[in-house]
Copies of this chain bind each other. A is one copy, B any other.
C-alpha cells in the first residue's frame, strides 16, 4: 500500500509513477510510444527534501519528469516574499520553460523526498518528429496546467482568503489523486502553513485562521498533519473548485505510432 507523502519522514515512498502512467489514463500507448517515454526516465535521481533542483536564472538544458514525491516551483520577490506558482507530483513534467528560455523563470525545490528523471531537451525534438501523438499529449498536459494556473489567477485576484484555502486543499488532493497516490477520506498536504500561504497569496498567520475557521464550522478536520474534508460539497461550492483533469476530449489526437 502506498505510504502517502509525509513531510517529516525520510522514507522513500510509493512505487514509481511516470509520464507513461499518467498518459495511459487517457490513451492506450503503443509499445513504441511506451519505449520512447521510458527513455526519458532512464536516469532516475533520488533527492532529499529541500533539494534545489533549479535556481531561478540558472541555465539548465534539462527537462524533468517526476516519479515520486512532491516538489514546488516558486519565485522570490525583491522584498523577500515568495510566490509558489505550482506543485509537482509524480507524472508531472517540469522545466519545460528551460526548453525555451535558457534559464528557468522559477526555482524548483523538493517538498518531500522525491525521485526525478532528467532528460535532454533534444528529446522533445525527437518526440515531435517520431511521435506526434506524444507531443500532442504534452501539449495537452501543458494546456491543462495553463487552465489550472488561470483558475488560480482568478482565485488570487478575486476571491476571499477562506475560499483560497479551501481551493488549495481541494486542488492538492486532486493532484495527488491524479498522480496515483492513495487518497482516501483524509490526506496529508505535506506543506507548512507558510508554504500554503505562499501558494495562495496569504500570510501563514491568516492561513492558520482560515483553517481554524473551516474546522470550527466542521468543513474540515485536522489531525497530525492530515486533513479530512468533512463537507466536500460545501467546500467545492465555496472554493468554486473545478477538476481540470476531468472531462477531457482527446478525440482529435493523431494516431499513435
Residues on A facing B (Cβ under 8 Å): 75, 77-78, 81-83, 85-86, 96-97, 99-102, 105-106, 121-122, 124-126, 128-129, 132-133, 135-136, 138-140, 142-147, 149-154, 156-159, 198, 200-201, 240, 242, 244, 247-250, 252-254
Contact = CB atoms under 8 A, between A and B. Distances in A.
A136 B125 contact: yes
B77 A159 contact: yes
Given A100-B140, A133-B128, A135-B128, A85 B153 contact: yes
A150 B85 contact: yes
A140 B121 CA distance: 13
Q: How many copies does the complex hold?
A: 2
B150 A150 contact: no
Nearest 10 A/B pairs, CB to CB? A157-B201, A128-B132, A83-B154, A156-B156, A125-B254, A83-B157, A129-B254, A83-B158, A129-B132, A128-B136
A139 B149 contact: no
A158 B201 contact: yes
Given A97-B147, A101-B147, A132-B135, 17 more contacts: A77-B154, A78-B240, A85-B150, A99-B140, A100-B143, A101-B247, A101-B249, A121-B252, A124-B252, A125-B252, A128-B132, A128-B133, A128-B135, A138-B139, A139-B139, A149-B149, A153-B153
Contacts of A146: 97, 142, 145-146, 149
A144 B152 CA distance: 17
